[in-house]
Amino acid sequence: MTNSMLTVTGLAKSYGPMPALAGVDLDVTRGTLLAVLGPSGCGKTTLLRCVAGFERADEGMVAVAGRTVAGNRLHVPPHRRGVAVVPQEGALFPHLSVADNVGYGLDRAARRSGRVEETLELVGLAAYGARMPHQLSGGQQQRVAIARALAPRPALVLLDEPFSALDARLRAELRADVRQALRADGATGVLVTHDQGEALSMADAVAVMDAGLIVQCGAPAAVYRDPATPWIARFVGEAVLLPATVDADVATTPLGRLPLRGSAACGAATVLVRPEQIRLTPSGGAPATVVRQDFHGHDALTTVRLDDGTVLTARMLDEDNGLTAGTRVAITVRGQVRAYAE
């Protein structure tokens, strides 16, 4: 038995002159959640539609649980792929109760086995089976959509930006609960999102997508700490990118000499520093002036200008630190930095 629940090889799809998918390779391990993270228009929905079978790829192959479902002129129809899709919103049958929505794809034996109640319990809606969809909040409706997807025990659950219509607090709560429900059910999933926080917090692996291609795939922490390019660095989080000269394992930057993670070619380079690596102290580092502080609740981002004009941001947990505009500070960097040869 293969350990891959989904294998995508060289998948290409064009609607016009511009390819929506330009040769996508992807592998999802059984029982894990992979996030496909990319900006709007990069091809995420097209990828999911080709995997689900709603769309025919021009080239490439899709295999689900070791069985080829698309490729070499083969096109297994969506309902024979063992793949369930949770769309963005509004996917419930309005005239069916919650329990009937969840049981819709089940045969009578499965319905009698208690699977409907089991999946409703998984998504925290055990007492809601008799309700009608319009009696539920948006977040609860998305929970039902996820229970309905899980109920027939599909090989693969595909989620296309399933939380984007919800407000921030609900979204955070639902992310954690849905992750827990998928795990408890042993499900394998692909979550498509343009939200880096969602991808990094929920997924076992993150595939970063840009212009129809997967540009990096790895564990969330690896993608955040070691982005393959400056573009990925900026896309997966706040990034301070500085000009540098690399010599062996040290980069000379406007913030002084910084130790490198991994190796880089000697010469001109761009260096990545995360705002949480930057420390502002009264003295003993690169001199700078505070420009402003942006409060975000859980932390604050302080923007500073070095005396050579370079502007960068530092993440601080305590915004009440007297660092008002004009305060003189000294900058030091914690840990190692990543360099990209010019």
Residues that bind ligand ADP (CB under 6 A): 15, 20, 38, 40-46
Q: What is the CA radius of gyration of the chain?
A: 24
CA 212 to chain centre: 16
Minimum CB separation from Mg ion for residue 261, in Å? 33
For Mg ion, which is the closer residue by CB, 21 or 271? 21
Q: What track of x and - describes contact with Mg ion for positions 174 through 213 (by CB under 5 A)?
A: ----------------------------------------
Question: Which residue, 43 or 129, is less far from ligand ADP as judged by CB?
Answer: 43
d(CA 180, CA 162): 15
Give one DSSP letter per residue of 236-289, joined into a string. TS--EEEEEEEETTEEEETTEEEEBSS---SEEEEEEE-GGGEEEESSSSEEEE
Per DSSP, the three-state class of 62 is strand
What is the rounded CA–CA span in Å between residue 229 and residue 94?
46
Element (H, E) at 301: strand 300-306
Interface stretch with Mg ion, choices 2-10, 40-48, 106-114, 270-278 (CB under 5 A):
40-48
Q: Which of 164, 173, 226, 169 lies closest to 202, judged by CA?
A: 173
Which does residue 277 bind out of ligand ADP, Mg ion, none, counting CB within 5 to 8 angstroms by kind?
none
Q: At closest approach, how far in Å is the CB of 190 from ligand ADP?
A: 13
**Shortest spacing between CB 173 and ligand ADP, in angstroms:** 24
C-beta of 113: minimal distance to ligand ADP in Å?
A: 36
Instruction: Select 159 or 314, whichever has its Cβ closest to ligand ADP.
Output: 159
Is residue 45 within the footprint of Mg ion (CB under 5 A)? yes
**268 burial type by CB count under 10 A (0-12 exposed, 13-18 middle, 19+ buried):** exposed
- We find the least distance from the C-beta atom of residue 69 to ligand ADP, in angstroms, to be 19
For residue 141, the partner it binds in Mg ion, ligand ADP, none, with Cβ less than 5 to 8 A by kind, is: none
> In the complex, what is the shortest distance from the CB of residue 203 to ligand ADP, in angstroms, rounded to a whole number?
16
Question: Do residues 312 and 304 touch, judged by C-beta distance below 8 A?
Answer: yes
Binding site for Mg ion (CB under 5 A): 44-45
